[in-house]
Structure 1
Amino acid sequence: MDETDLAGARDGFRAGAAGAAIGAGIALAAWALSALIGDGTFPAYLLGPLLCPAMSFVAPLWRERRGHRRPATLVALAACLPVMVLATGTEDLLREDPDDGPSAWTAPFYLVMLLVWSTLYGALAGPPGAEPGRSWLRFTGRGRRYHLAVYGGPALGLVLAVWFATAAG
């Protein structure tokens, strides 16, 4: 990784961490309110809405890093698949909710997924203000090894996550 990629990864991680902190704060506040007013279970309806304020920190990163936006988004979403497989595969092990709804353990998986996505997007997208890339799959100006590592990493992560989820389940 050259310096631009590391700076992009730092920017992406900062944006994702700020968003994840806001999302976690909202989730914990709602959970505390549920403990004070309701039955104390995690409000499962918050799983989607807690990502909305979290994504507001990632939106400027999306706007300013246009160089390889399409392949970077594709790779970042592919890297989130192993996290989703782990969340689904280990759900029975972590389940505390008796009515088979999403448990409190599902929210951290979503926030980790946001961190993975924003960090990878920041590292793989071009520098701020770069010209948009012209290809869905190719990072222009990068070699064959780079593409193998970028696309092979999420594929290997998905294989390992499926193996772990089937071994745990």
Structure 2
Amino acid sequence: MDETDLAGARDGFRAGAAGAAIGVGIALVAWGLSAVIGDGAFPAYLLGPLLMPAVSFVGPLWRERPGHRRPATLVALAACLPLMVVATLIEDGQEDPDGGPTVWWGPVYLAMLLLSATLYGALAGPPGAEPGRSWLRFTGRGRRYHLVVYGGLAAALALAVGIDAVAG
């Protein structure tokens, strides 16, 4: 990784961490209101909508790094799939009596946010770079870079599917 890639990964992680902190704060306030007004149980059905504002901190990163925006977004979102597969396996063992989501999904959402923001920051290129011309190609990067990025993503997906096949 170039120094700019490491700086981008740091910027992405910071954006994801700031968003995750806001999301956790909102979720804790909802839990507190549930304790005061309701039955005190964590409102797990609100996890997705409550943590979605956390993504807004990645918006400035998106605007300032247009260089490889499309392939970086594709890789960052696809990297969350293995985490979702493993989380679903764990969730199956922790069924909620009502059949709804459990509190387990909160840390999973936060991990996915941090992972995708960090990967996006590392792969999107330096600030102010010229926009890329392809959905899959990181323009100006060699074949080895593409092999590492897409090969690592394919290996993570294969590992998640393998874990699902063994555990399921």
> Counterpart of 1:25 in structure 2: which amino acid?
G
With normalisation by structure 2, the TM-score equals: 0.93
The answer to whether residue 153 in structure 2 is matched with residue 154 in structure 1 is yes
Determine the C-alpha separation between the residues in 1 that align with 2:11 and 2:50. 21
The residue matched to 2:49 in structure 1 has which SS? coil
Determine the C-alpha separation between the residues in 2 that align with 1:40 and 1:160. 38
**Which residue matches 1:29?**
29
- Aligned 8 A contact 1:90 1:165 in 2: no
1:145, distance to aligned residue in structure 2 (A)? 1.4
Determine the C-alpha separation between the residues in 1 that align with 2:40 and 2:156. 35
Cα RMSD for the two superposed structures? 1.4
> Counterpart of 1:93 in structure 2: which amino acid?
G
The answer to whether residue 75 in structure 2 is matched with residue 75 in structure 1 is yes
- Aligned 8 A contact 2:20 2:54 in 1: yes
1:25-64 counterparts in 2 under 5 A?
25-64=25-64
1:122-137 counterparts in 2 under 5 A?
122-137=121-136
Determine the C-alpha separation between the residues in 2 that align with 1:168 and 1:38. 37
With normalisation by structure 1, the TM-score equals: 0.93
Q: Count the aligned residue pairs.
A: 168
Determine the C-alpha separation between the residues in 2 that align with 1:94 and 1:124. 35
CA separation of 1:25 and 1:146: change in aligned 2, threshold 3 A:
same
Determine the C-alpha separation between the residues in 2 that align with 1:42 and 1:152. 39
1:69-148 counterparts in 2 under 5 A?
69-95=69-95, 97-148=96-147
> Counterpart of 1:44 in structure 2: which amino acid?
A
> Counterpart of 1:22 in structure 2: which amino acid?
I
- Aligned 8 A contact 2:81 2:157 in 1: yes
Determine the C-alpha separation between the residues in 1 that align with 2:98 and 2:166. 25
The superposition leaves residues 60-103 of structure 1 with CA deviations (integer Å, 9 ceiling, x where unpaired) of 001101000001011111101111111212112233x2101010
1:52, distance to aligned residue in structure 2 (A)? 2.6
Task: Give unpaired runs (5+ residues) of structure 1.
Answer: none
The residue matched to 2:129 in structure 1 has which SS? coil
Q: Which moved more, 1:30-39 or 1:109-118?
A: 30-39
The answer to whether residue 6 in structure 2 is matched with residue 6 in structure 1 is yes
